Amino acid sequence: MMSYKRVLLYGGRGCLGSVCVKHFKNKGYNSDADENIVIEVSENSSTQERVVKNGLDTFLSGQKVDGIFCVADFLENCDAMWKKCVWSSSIAAALASKYLLASGLLVLTGAHAALQATPSSYAYLRPSIVCRVSTFVLSFIRSLFWCVVAMLGYGMAKAAVHQLTKSLAGQNSGLPNGSCVLAISPATLDTPMNRKWMPNANHSSWTPTEKVAELFATWLEEANSRPKSGSIIQLITQNGITECVPV
């Protein structure tokens, strides 16, 4: 009989987070009650952490959770990306040090883009046409420039998440003894927003969010299926089939 019943999802309103919430609910997690803690994105990280901890102290009443999953979404500019990716991951780690069971699981969300130089990861952003209309060219180049700047910020933020994952797996990191920390590193998640902006892409190489939720549940329920703590796990999807490949 499955013993895992209580999980914490940080970023549960996003594309991946909402799918994970639905998946865990369908499997009977958090069957007693749910709690939504809303934070103001304009607040600094210390204030956000305090708000979340105060909410959890009240809701959990001293109980622990079996898993914490940080699935905060991608945002459009460097400052927002850093706050969404790094702040949320740091707060999730702080929550794990206080609320995670000794055998529990902490999963952060990295990205394939952070495994190499970011612009080279997104070669499809480079111009592939020559246009004689100078105003169009300037507009295109300007848009291209900001795409590259945004992806640089994204890569930097996700690289920090990878480093945090490895550090948390070390001794005296503050996480409970026997717990496991992992980071997923997907290339492109199959979300409505990604399909909107890249309608002509090869969607068979995108990782379905449902597959990610299933993977989370498997790691949570079957401790022996988990990779080594501190691992960065690439999610590689080809022809609709997703594989987990440790970096």
The residue type of 58 is T
Q: Catalytic one among 4, 10, 29, 154? A: 154
29 phi-psi bin (left φ>0, alpha ψ -120 to 50, beta other): beta
- For the chain, give the DSSP string: ------EEEETTTSHHHHHHHHHHHHTTTT-S--------TTS-HHHHHHHHHHHHHHHHTT--EEEEEE-PPP-SSHHHHHIIIIIHHHHHHHHHHHHEEEEEEEEEE--GGGGS-HHHHTGGGS-----S-HHHHHHHHHHHHHHHHHHHHHHHHHHHHHHHHHHHTSTTSSSPTT-EEEEEEES-EE-HHHHHH-TTS-GGGSEEHHHHHHHHHHHHH-GGGSPPTT-EEEEEEETTEEEEEE-
Active site residue 154: yes
C-alpha distances in Å from residue 152, one per residue of 65, 73, 85: 35, 16, 13
Give the catalytic positions in this structure. Answer: 154
